[in-house]
Each structure stands twice: as C-alpha cells, then as structure tokens.
Amino acid sequence: MATLIGAIASSHTPTIGFALDARKQDDPAWKPIFDAYIPIRAWLEDKRPDVLLMIYNDHITSFFFDHYSAFCLGVDESYPVADEGGGARPMPAIGGHAALSRHIVQSLMTDEFDMSTFRNKGLDHGIFSPLSVLMDNDGQGWPTKIVPLQVGVLQFPIPSTLRCYKLGQALRRAIESYPEDMKVAIVATGGLSHQVHGERCGFNNTPWDEEFLDLLEKDPVALTRLTHADYARLGGMEGSEVIMWLVMRGALSARVRKVHQSYYLPSMCAIATAIYENEARTMPQRDAVQHRTRMEEQLAGAEELEGTYPYTQERSAQGWRVNRFLHRLVDPGHRARFLADEAGELAAADLSEGERDLIRRRDWRGLIHHGAIFFLLEKLGAVSGVSNLHIYAAMRGETLEDFQKTRNQQVIYSVAAPVDQD
C-alpha cells in the first residue's frame, strides 16, 4: 500500500522563482530563501518520495471565474508550466500520477467530498515556484511525479478552515488505501502573511506568522476555529490562503515530529518552510480493503448490465482526445472547418489513426467502447445530419425502422438548431 511519509510546507510567492531564475542564490537579500530549502532538498533526497501531493491555489491563470471550484484535483499524466502573462518559465512539464489521482478522487467522493477534476491545464507559480527550489530538473523532466490539488481561495465563499482540515483527514485515507506500494509526501503551499491589494497592500504580521506555525504543529484544531475574517485581520487578505496548510496538517497524525522550520520576510510576503514527519501507524491492510470496497459499492454490479459502460475517470482518460475533438464542434469556426474539410481537420487533430477512423465511419458504438461520451456523439450527429434516433438504433445494432418499433412514438430529433419548416 501507499505510505504517507510526511509533509512539507512552503510559501509559493513568485519572488522565489524570480530569484532562482535571476541567479540570486548568493545575493544577501535573497540568500536566506535558498538556505531555507537546503534541509528540505536533503530530506527529499533521503526519503525519495514517489509522488508529491501538492496543495496550491491557481492565481487566475488556468482557472477563471466562469467555473470556480472549491476543490479541484488534477488527474492528468503531465502538467506544463503555465504562462502567467510574461511567458512561461523555462522548465519542463512535470509528470502526474494519474492512477493515484483517480483513486483519490473516488475515495474523496466516497467520503462525501464533492471533488472536481481537471486535465489539460498548466500550473502557475502556486506549484512551480516552490517546486523549482525543492528539487532540480534535468531540462527534460523531474525526479518525482505530482498530484496537484487546487483550492479555490480567491472568490468567496471559500472552504472553511475546518473543512480544509477534514479534507486532509480524508486525503490520508485515500493515500493509505491505494493498493500499490509507493511513498507519498504532501506539500502545502502559500502564505504566510501578506496582502497585495487595496490601501492595506503590504501588510505583514510576523508575530501572527510565528503563532500560526506553532499552532499548526502543536494544536491545529485551534486554527480551525478561526474565521476567514480572522485570518485576513491577522495575516492579510491574501495571507488567508494558509488555510491550505490545514489540508496538509489534517492528513498527518495528531502529534508530528517537526524536522525543519524557517521564516523570512524580505518584502511583500512572509516566506516560511517546514517539514513534518508522521508519527501515526499506517492504515491496516484490513481497513484499506474495507475502504476500497466502500469506494466501489456505488457502481458494484453496473458492469454486469449488458451494453452499459459507466463513464468513470478511467474511461474519461481513455477517450480524452476524441472527446476533446468532438467538444470543439460547439465552436462555429471549428464546425465550419470540419464540414468544409473533414479529412483535413481529422488529419490535423491530436488523434490516433484508430480514433480518426472511428469518427470517419461514424462508428457510434465503437466510439462508446473507446471512451467517448454519448452527449458528444449527439453533437457529431447534429453536425453530420444524423438524428439521435439513428444513433440509438446503431448502438443496438438495429435499423432505424426496427428500433422505432420499440418506441411508443416514431419521432425523429437531434440537438441541431431549428430548421425552417416552410
């Protein structure tokens, strides 16, 4: 089973990445930042975790307010560096452990955390600023994989401190119930005290930062009793993002061993680091099996329903490229190009030849078997002039006429726009 070996806390201010890229390691104003990461790098080198579960918030780079989730877990195979407006930092993408991500999502849903997921998104300084000083990359990749957890802390209402702490407890069950042997460390990012907007811009509070770090180690439950307004008053409005550290702390044992801690306030944001090692026993094998059984009970037996394919995270990953291509048919420009030159659009798409063939032949049942979701097939049908009823008949391997005989009314329809009936 997977083992939760400990946790790291790190600020994620972009100044960290700037200082690294500008080679400020020996500059007196910047050197304390890099010195603080030396023990963490040594710890990571010693422990060699297979996966880092990194808790962060996106800074309106890859996520916007047209769809803003409280908790959103990455389930992708790879995550590139996001362009935040001045060009992406010159670092390679980092690999994701998609199988562990899918397990965590299902486990959290079982524990009644309504978790969103994301793919095909870059990660901004919320992850890559600390990651770039936690370990080196070789220009092609990184020595570990990650599972990124994005917490929506920028648009209120946001999760309460207690909810964050309870999420951490659920994350521990999710990690320790994963059946494969691996070592996982949790990295909480953000903070400490700072405010970057309004007339209070530049606010810091070192005494509160020190108290927060002490309570995080020794009495995290006390931190769950504070409101968002309390965190804003004590640590600045943007400094309230430290509630993400409570996710990390909730995943650890009640008592932890603090291996390292640092604090430095160079300019706008108080920069802190810490390492905590878990002192709790790992989940017994019996409990892990029971938890996985609970995870599976909602869909237990569904696979026995003939011709039924629950759209799971696995099927979503399998059909990602096809579904992404078909989803683009809602865009009039893409739709027009597809109708004008289907062969050219298919040839230019990020699809395998087998996937192109399935679309080319309008193999509706084959597309379902491959991992396409029906509600994108009906969009392809609408573009192609094929009704929903024709698609339904094809699913059953019947002619339209034979399928219509099984319906109460013999009607034809699709999701295409209305046509002139005159």
- Reply yes or no on whether the pLDDT at 343 is more than 60: yes
Give the CATH fold of the 307-404 domain.
Protocatechuate 4,5-dioxygenase; Chain A (1.10.700)
* pLDDT attached to residue 418: 75
pLDDT digits (tens, 9 = 90+) for 294-321: 999 999 999 899 999 999 999 999 999 9
Q: What are phi and psi of 272, to 5 degrees?
A: -125, 150
Average pLDDT over residues 146-173: 97
Q: What is the pLDDT of residue 420?
A: 58
Q: In whole numbers, what is the pLDDT of the chain averaged over residues?
A: 95
**Does position 421 have pLDDT exceeding 80, yes or no?**
no
- The CATH architecture annotation of domain 2-289 reads 3-Layer(aba) Sandwich (3.40)
Q: Which helix (H) or strand (E) holds 51?
A: strand 51-56
| C-alpha pair distances (Å), 207 with each of 16, 165, 239, 332 | 22, 23, 14, 56
The DSSP output letter for 81 is: B
DSSP code string of 90-149: S---EEB-HHHHHHHHHHHHHTT---EEE-S--B-HHHHHHHHHHS---SS--SSEEEEE
Whole-prediction pTM value? 0.93
Give catalytic residues, as residue numbers: 125, 194
Residues in the chain: 422
Query: 151: helix, coil or strand?
Result: strand
∠ CA(289), CA(370), CA(377), 5° rounding?
Answer: 120
Q: Which among 274, 291, 243 is positioned nearest to 2, based on CA atoms?
A: 291
Average pLDDT over residues 266-286: 92
Structural tokens at position 106: 């299902």
Which whole number is the average pLDDT over 32-48?
A: 97
Domain boundaries, given as residue ranges, for the chain: 2-289, 307-404
φ/ψ bin of 104: left (φ > 0), alpha (ψ from -120 to 50), beta (otherwise): alpha
Average the pLDDT over 182-196 and give the result. Answer: 96
Kindly state the helix (H) or strand (E) to which residue 276 belongs, with its residue range: strand 271-278
pLDDT, residue 281, reads 82
- pLDDT tier at 159, thresholds 50, 70, 90: very high
How far apart (Å, rounded) are the C-alpha atoms in residues 220 and 254?
A: 8
Q: Three-class SS of residue 259?
A: strand
